[in-house]
Amino acid sequence: MTEFEKSLSDKAPSFDRREGSLDTPSSQDVDDNFKRYDEFDVAKVVWILWQRKLLILSIAVSFFFFGVGYSLMLPNLYRSEGIYAPTQKQGGLSGAMEYSGLAAIAGINLGAAENNDIDQAVELLNSWPFLDDIVNKHGLAPYISAVKGWNRGANELEWDDSLYDARSNSWSDEMRANGELPTSYEVYKDFKSKIGVSVDGKSGMVKISVTYYSPEISAKWVKLLVTSLNSHFQNRDTLEAKRNIKYLEDKISETSISNMRDIFYEMVEVQTKNLMLAEVGDEYLLKEVVPPMISERKSEPSRSIICILFGFMGGFLSCLYLLLREFVSSVKPLSD
Closest-CA residue to 314 (of 132, 70, 111, 22):
70
Per-residue pLDDT, averaged over 220-224, amounts to: 96
pLDDT at 192 over 90: yes
- The distance between the two most distant Cα atoms of the chain, rounded to a whole number of Å, is 127
Q: What are phi and psi of 37, to 5 degrees?
A: -60, -45
Range of the domain at 34: 24-73+302-330
How far apart (Å, rounded) are the C-alpha atoms in residues 287 and 121?
13
174 & 92 share domain: yes
The rounded mean pLDDT for the chain is: 80
C-alpha distances in Å from residue 82, one per residue of 116, 124, 184, 217 = 21, 17, 27, 14
With respect to residue 2, please indicate whether it lies within any of the assigned structural domains. Answer: no
Q: What is the pLDDT of residue 68?
A: 93
185 & 62 share domain: no
With respect to residue 309, please indicate whether it lies within any of the assigned structural domains. Answer: yes
309 & 238 share domain: no
45 & 170 share domain: no
With respect to residue 269, please indicate whether it lies within any of the assigned structural domains. Answer: yes
Give per-residue pLDDT as tens, 22-55. 445 555 554 555 455 455 567 888 888 888 889 9
83 & 69 share domain: no
C-alpha distances in Å from residue 279, one per residue of 80, 111, 235, 275, 307 = 29, 16, 9, 6, 54
Q: What is the pLDDT of residue 293?
A: 95
**Range with lowest mean pLDDT among 161-175, 246-260, 287-301, 315-329:** 246-260
Q: How many domains does the chain have?
A: 2
With respect to residue 336, please indicate whether it lies within any of the assigned structural domains. Answer: no
- The rounded percent of the chain whose pLDDT value lies above 90 is 43
With respect to residue 56, please indicate whether it lies within any of the assigned structural domains. Answer: yes
117 & 212 share domain: yes
Q: Who contacts 38 (Cβ-Cβ below 8 Å, separation ≥6)?
A: none
Give per-residue pLDDT as tens, 314-329. 999 999 988 888 878 7
Per-residue pLDDT, averaged over 263-290, amounts to: 82
306 & 277 share domain: no
Query: Which has the higher per-residue pLDDT, 229 or 93?
Result: 229
Give per-residue pLDDT as tens, 80-94. 999 999 986 644 444
Q: What is the pLDDT of residue 26?
A: 55
pLDDT at 116 over 70: yes
With respect to residue 154, please indicate whether it lies within any of the assigned structural domains. Answer: yes
Per-residue pLDDT, averaged over 200-214, amounts to: 93
Q: What is the pLDDT of residue 112?
A: 43
129 & 84 share domain: yes
How far apart (Å, rounded) are the C-alpha atoms in residues 241 and 276?
9
190 & 308 share domain: no
**Range with lowest mean pLDDT among 127-136, 168-177, 244-253, 326-335:** 326-335
With respect to residue 18, please indicate whether it lies within any of the assigned structural domains. Answer: no
- The rounded percent of the chain whose pLDDT value lies above 70 is 78
224 & 211 share domain: yes
pTM above 0.85, yes or no: no
95 & 42 share domain: no
Q: What is the pLDDT of residue 108?
A: 54
With respect to residue 211, please indicate whether it lies within any of the assigned structural domains. Answer: yes
At residue 167 the predicted structure's pLDDT band, cuts being 50, 70 and 90, is confident
At residue 95 the predicted structure's pLDDT band, cuts being 50, 70 and 90, is very low
252 & 212 share domain: yes
Per-residue pLDDT, averaged over 5-34, amounts to: 47
